Structure 1
Amino acid sequence: MKKESRQKESLGRILKYMKKYWLFLGLSIALAVISVILTLYIPILTGDAIDYIVDKGKVDFTYITPILKKMVVVILITAAAQWIMNVCNNKMTYNIVRDIRKDAIRKIEILPLKYLDAHSYGEIVSRVIADVDQFADGLLMGFTQLFTGVVTIIGTLGFMLSVNVKITAVVVFLTPLSFVVAGFIAKKTFSMFKLQSETRGEQTALIDEMIGNQKIVQAFSHEDEALESFDEINERLEKYSLRALFFSSITNPSTRFINALVYAGVGVFGAVSAIHGGISVGQLSCFLSYANQYTKPFNEISGVVTELQNALACAARVFELIDEEAQVPDAEDAVVLEEVKGDVDLEHVYFSYEPGQKLIEDFNLHVNPGERVAIVGPTGCGKTTLINLLMRFYDVNSGTIRVSGVPVKDMTRSSLRSSYGMVLQETWLKEGTIRENICMGKPDATDEEMMEAAKASHAHNFIKRLPKGYDTVIAEDGGNLSQGQKQLLCIARVMLCLPPMLILDEATSSIDTRTEMKIQEAFGRMMKGRTSFIVAHRLSTIEEADIILVMKDGHIIEQGNHEELLQKNGFYAALYNSQFAQS
């Protein structure tokens, strides 16, 4: 029952997308009716022509020639109608696919980070790309063959009734067998295609993970384990695909067998009727043609039903993504931060990623405008989590975070995030030129401003050595650039924007010591007068910070400047001395 309701729900959603393209839909149905009627008219003309063939060598061309001319005109009009119908179907299908993908991407843009952190990127990509492609194939077949098939069945019945009621009754009597067979198989296929689609997404996720981290896989000799995981998923995909294809492949032979029974029944009954003078030989020929045309759509529709099962299964997965709960939207009266003073307050903040697993508890902090706040502590103490809360990538469970006196929940996310310049340990560069990557946060920057930012970040020298300098195109995530070079470009990007507040999360972790010293000087100039949050493991980089927060298990256990914390001879002093014990 749950499966059927999911199918109905998916079908209902697809029909909503189709509403925008009702003109194409209406035109497609009208052209389907025209092409079917004309196609069904051809057997009548053929039967009339046969009746004018009296005997061998005795053909009445006086009557046959006009019939043949009429057949040529009908065939040309039918071909034109079918071509325009296919154009309409393609237009409608790929517009719907475009709209679904657009909705999926828009939803991904507003999904909370906790969803993206909990799902593999490959699986999400599989839903938006592979599942939507499968859905498009099924939908296109549905539009192309379903309309024509249904109209053909109805039209053929009408024409057959006008020729001979008794023979038509034989056809109608045997018809329900096709529905019974097709219906039985259709019920089996949906679940199989659903499993196939889910497993294909799992496989895409694994391949994406392995290719993206191939160096790590090889460095730790993890190839055999990766292959074992792939083989296990691949075998499951093979099993589900074979089952899905088995049920879908027996549809056509089963309905063809029923169709053969119908054709044989018409042939026997019609021949007996012709012998007794009930119908002419031309009418019998016409009837056999109709019987063939009448049963053919059942083959096509049964195939369409199978494809639609696959399409609905894929659509259900895409709609699951689209229906995921989005992040809490900005309030209608949300404040747009314009003049950011730079003071930040965290009052009684509680936060955890998973209920029951405590992380940050009763966190309190006041930062004055222009202060440099360094955050240190062991791995897992909550340093990066604090950055996520400041940027509102995650919302606090309770408590308040204020910027310039305004709670972050009462301001727009875009204005909050544009107030921060962030350089992370993990670099991200888009596919495009060096120029486009540096100017991402300030597209209207002049060449002089861009180069000044590159020089300040010490990226200018290596950029000039590239084949086309600032116009060099790099692949996604930096291509062949070294990790340090990618980091310098990310730093240049922030230096160009110069927002009122900065977040530096291990920003110089991938840079050599000599360059790091120069970058620290540039950071020093950049941070002057700007509120800055610095996450660092190398404590030498934060000695000049105004406040150093020492975190452990989500709590601030020590707070003060470098000299004060060394004098306390506590946790910070132990960390510092462990790094400089040999110096």
Structure 2
Amino acid sequence: MIKLLKNLSVYKWIVAAVFVLVFVQSMSDLFLPTLMADIIDKGVVTGNTPYIWRIGGWMLLVSALGASSSVIASYYSSKAAMGLGRDIRRKVFNHVEKFSLQEFDEVGTASLITRTTNDITQVQQVVIMMLRMVISAPIMLVGGVIMAVSKDAKLSLVIVITMPVLIASILLILYKGVPMFQTVQKRLDRLNLVLRENLTGIRVIRAFNRESEEKVRLQRANKELTDASIKVNKVMAFMMPVMMLVMNLTVVGVIWFGGIRIDNGGMQIGDLMAFIQYVMQIMFALVMASMMFMMVPRAAVSAKRINEVLDMEPAFRDEGTAKADRERGTLEFDHVTFSYPGAEEPALSDISFTANPGEITAIIGGTGSGKSTLVNLIPRFYDISGGTIRVNGVDIRDASQEEIRSKIGFVPQKAMLFTGTIADNIRFGKQNATQDEIEHAARTAQADDFIRKMKDGYQADIEQGGSNLSGGQKQRLSIARALIRKPDLYIFDDSFSALDFKTDAKLRVALKEETKHATVLLVAQRVSTVVDADRIIVLDKGRMAGMGTHEELLQTNDVYREIVLSQLTEEEIA
């Protein structure tokens, strides 16, 4: 928690102003009961009306000063807390942007969303309260005790007896409640995960008529969160009644013994009323402190979760500054091995090949053979376990990730589009692209026809995730986004699976002309897509089972022949 609060140093003058204003407000509140005692003892009892008016005027002035200080302090404390939340959110986002896919897999997307939203909100709320109460509560507590003792030291013994009872009750409740806050946040993570899966996978859920099962799963996660929240709130609910009971019993005791003191002539009525006010202020200071203690543990849990993200070091960092332009357009895998964290066996073992500009290198293999894993290593989404990957003749670990990725046009297996216009999504590959460049990329990707048929053409809006487009349309826009970049290396990760054979054929012809000066790496399921490749790499269980042209592999490689026979007839092969 303290680590996060260090970010408040940016707002040190605002925080200092809040402390000064809260101090003024607290002193005003402490001064008012004394003025009231004077009005009663020297004005009401003696019938001195001018004195009542004069002291009453001072009371109004002090009240106005306290109220103004309170309002301004609230404004500035909110400003500092909201600014802190904004800064931490930006800090978390910028840090997460540096993560490799390994860290995303480790923490989980749902948990990262919760930590960036709910957890930071918890910290914001407690900071607002702390800025107001961390000064106010101690001043009211200490000041109230001093003023009460100054009014009547003997009567103050009532407070000495009740305060330890109240403090012990608060500490006991907090001791029971604090560990439960961690459970609440974990249950919230779980609910977010289930909800996110339901919303993003709604098509699959409906296609398999799994709505009722998913409802049960969501209800279970929701109930677990509800039960945990009720449990912690039941414990915390004891705090307020206990405090109110002790407070009221204290006031009863003060009135009882104060009445005896007045009857014996040891105390005036005004002092008793002022004493009661100070007792209430002391108890109220403890109430404020207890409220802060209720929020701080949960915020501390949230702060810990935020710090876990901020302290998490990416699996690899940019260490090199080499420029990836020694051998423009080349890609080399040199005995590359890769294992996922915690995996018993490598996902890829001893992969070696070289791809040159103007060549199409295709990768084919069965499900789980490591095709997508291989292409994910090139933009350095994951770091290799052994061997070397070179892009343009430079080891990808010797150049920055930005430098390597700037040379790559990547079309992922699952087409991902963003909210905005079609032009915006194509321009995602090159921010300063002209309209002519956008249209040229779309024509090459065979997307121009369907774009022009849409109501607003290139300015047509795309809904979240491209839900208003078909799978084939999304794939073609993803391809256009990569083409507009004009990179040295194109990576197509099974990017033609949603296209019909006619569109696929036309697209490959157009791509051949567009990519003739670049290296093309093509992952495919269809044999028809890789037949014309200059080099076909056959993967089987993470290892290279063969490499060569279609004709060579058909004659010499059993794994490739099996794949071909599963898709084509003997006549088609011949």
TM range, normalised to the smaller chain? over 0.9
Kindly state the Cα deviation for residue 12 of structure 1 after the two structures are TM-superposed: 2.2
Task: Identify the residue that residue 454 of structure 1 maps to in structure 2.
Answer: 442
Check 1:569–1:127 CA distance in 2 against 1; reply closer, same or farther (3 A cut).
Answer: closer
1:432 aligns with 2:427: no
Q: Which letter maps to 1:34?
A: V
Task: Identify the residue that residue 185 of structure 1 maps to in structure 2.
Answer: 173
The one of 28, 37, 44 aligned to 1:47: 37
User: How many Å separate the matches in 2 of 1:356 and 1:503?
Assistant: 28
Kindly state the Cα deviation for residue 504 of structure 1 after the two structures are TM-superposed: 0.6
Task: Identify the residue that residue 11 of structure 2 maps to in structure 1.
Answer: 21
The answer to whether the Cα contact below 8 Å between 1:373 and 1:548 also exists between their aligned partners in 2 is yes
User: How many Å separate the matches in 2 of 1:269 and 1:433?
Assistant: 77
Which runs of 5 or more residues in structure 1 are unaligned? 1-10
Kindly state the Cα deviation for residue 226 of structure 1 after the two structures are TM-superposed: 1.7
Task: Identify the residue that residue 302 of structure 2 maps to in structure 1.
Answer: 314
Kindly state the Cα deviation for residue 288 of structure 1 after the two structures are TM-superposed: 1.0
The answer to whether the Cα contact below 8 Å between 2:8 and 2:80 also exists between their aligned partners in 1 is yes
The answer to whether the Cα contact below 8 Å between 1:171 and 1:265 also exists between their aligned partners in 2 is no
Q: Bigger CA drift: 407-416 or 362-371? A: 362-371
Task: Identify the residue that residue 81 of structure 1 maps to in structure 2.
Answer: 69
Kindly state the Cα deviation for residue 467 of structure 1 after the two structures are TM-superposed: 2.9
For the residue of structure 2 that corresponds to 1:357, the secondary structure is coil
Runs of 4+ that moved beyond 6 A: none
Q: Which letter maps to 1:334?
A: T
The answer to whether the Cα contact below 8 Å between 2:325 and 2:392 also exists between their aligned partners in 1 is no
Kindly state the Cα deviation for residue 259 of structure 1 after the two structures are TM-superposed: 1.4
The one of 235, 253, 264 aligned to 2:252: 264
User: How many Å separate the matches in 2 of 1:217 and 1:447?
Assistant: 40
Task: Identify the residue that residue 99 of structure 1 maps to in structure 2.
Answer: 87
Task: Identify the residue that residue 197 of structure 2 maps to in structure 1.
Answer: 209
Check 1:552–1:271 CA distance in 2 against 1; reply closer, same or farther (3 A cut).
Answer: same
For the residue of structure 2 that corresponds to 1:410, the secondary structure is coil
Kindly state the Cα deviation for residue 457 of structure 1 after the two structures are TM-superposed: 1.5
Task: Identify the residue that residue 409 of structure 2 maps to in structure 1.
Answer: 421
Q: Deviations over 1:296-328 (max 9, x none)?
A: 121222122111111112222222222222132
Which runs of structure 2 are paired with 1:472-551 in the superposition (5 Å)? Answer: 472-551=460-539
The answer to whether the Cα contact below 8 Å between 1:340 and 1:419 also exists between their aligned partners in 2 is no
Kindly state the Cα deviation for residue 340 of structure 1 after the two structures are TM-superposed: 4.9
The one of 67, 78, 83 aligned to 1:90: 78
User: How many Å separate the matches in 1 of 2:193 and 2:171?
Assistant: 34
Which runs of structure 2 are paired with 1:13-162 in the superposition (5 Å)? Answer: 13-54=3-44, 59-162=47-150
Task: Identify the residue that residue 275 of structure 1 maps to in structure 2.
Answer: 263
The one of 155, 164, 177 aligned to 1:176: 164
User: How many Å separate the matches in 2 of 1:448 and 1:570?
Assistant: 47
User: How many Å separate the matches in 1 of 2:103 and 2:463?
Assistant: 27
Q: Deviations over 1:449-506 (max 9, x none)?
A: 1111112222222222333222223222113112221111111111211101110111
User: How many Å separate the matches in 2 of 1:166 and 1:429?
Assistant: 76
1:363 aligns with 2:351: yes
The one of 527, 540, 561 aligned to 1:552: 540
Q: Deviations over 1:275-307 (max 9, x none)?
A: 111121111111111111111121222122111
Check 1:234–1:206 CA distance in 2 against 1; reply closer, same or farther (3 A cut).
Answer: same
For the residue of structure 2 that corresponds to 1:128, the secondary structure is helix
User: How many Å separate the matches in 2 of 1:113 and 1:198?
Assistant: 22
The one of 277, 282, 287 aligned to 1:294: 282
The one of 325, 344, 351 aligned to 2:338: 351
Check 1:102–1:473 CA distance in 2 against 1; reply closer, same or farther (3 A cut).
Answer: same
The one of 302, 311, 326 aligned to 2:314: 326
Q: Which letter maps to 1:470?
A: Y
The answer to whether the Cα contact below 8 Å between 2:472 and 2:498 also exists between their aligned partners in 1 is yes
For the residue of structure 1 that corresponds to 2:346, the secondary structure is coil
Task: Identify the residue that residue 468 of structure 1 maps to in structure 2.
Answer: 456
TM-score, normalised to structure 1, is: 0.94
The answer to whether the Cα contact below 8 Å between 1:252 and 1:303 also exists between their aligned partners in 2 is no
User: How many Å separate the matches in 2 of 1:513 and 1:248?
Assistant: 65
The answer to whether the Cα contact below 8 Å between 1:43 and 1:289 also exists between their aligned partners in 2 is yes
Kindly state the Cα deviation for residue 46 of structure 1 after the two structures are TM-superposed: 1.3
The answer to whether the Cα contact below 8 Å between 2:547 and 2:553 also exists between their aligned partners in 1 is yes
User: How many Å separate the matches in 2 of 1:178 and 1:579?
Assistant: 79
Q: Which letter maps to 1:148?
A: S
Check 1:179–1:336 CA distance in 2 against 1; reply closer, same or farther (3 A cut).
Answer: farther
Q: Bigger CA drift: 316-325 or 75-84? A: 316-325
Which runs of 5 or more residues in structure 2 are unaligned? none
TM-score, normalised to structure 2, is: 0.95
User: How many Å separate the matches in 1 of 2:312 and 2:29?
Assistant: 47
User: How many Å separate the matches in 2 of 1:174 and 1:567?
Assistant: 94
The one of 210, 223, 229 aligned to 1:235: 223
1:337 aligns with 2:324: yes
The answer to whether the Cα contact below 8 Å between 2:324 and 2:393 also exists between their aligned partners in 1 is no
Aligned pair count reads: 570
User: How many Å separate the matches in 1 of 2:107 and 2:451?
Assistant: 36
Kindly state the Cα deviation for residue 355 of structure 1 after the two structures are TM-superposed: 4.1
